[in-house]
Amino acid sequence: MSEKERLVELLQNCQIQTRTLEDLFYKSVIEKIADHLLENGIIVPPVNVGGIVWVIYNKCVTPANVMAVYVDKSGGMFDLKILTEGIKSTINKDYTFDMVYTTKEEAEKALKGGAE
């Protein structure tokens, strides 16, 4: 899901006095608001803190729990709790937004060299 699609979904699901923004505005208006926010620097992480992402760790695709999201001048970064060998876990701050995947299939494709 692109940043714009995620932002549009968040705006459409926003509750205002028991009515959604989709009830109040046409979809095109919501998309224009999303474009305006993105053009003016809003950052939309691909997942929320507490969510699960897929990463390539030790040449394997593995799930990771998002512990924190950071944004700085160089872009977005995650603290991830990664289950390794079923016992140990590690927190790694070196995963940027473009190094995590929202589905296992996307991560497997990247591991094979299809999208990195």
What confidence tens digit (pLDDT) does each residue in 49-69 have?
A: 888 999 988 888 989 888 888
Can you give the residue ranges of every domain in the chain? Answer: 3-39, 52-111
pLDDT tens for residues 15-25? Answer: 555 556 655 65
The reply to whether the predicted model has a pTM over 0.75 is no
Residue type, 44: V
Q: Quick one: average pLDDT of 14-38?
A: 68
Residue pair 38/3 in contact (Cβ under 8 Å)? The answer is yes
What is the enclosing helix (H) or strand (E) of 24?
helix 21-24
Among 72, 87, 31, 76, CA closest to 53: 76
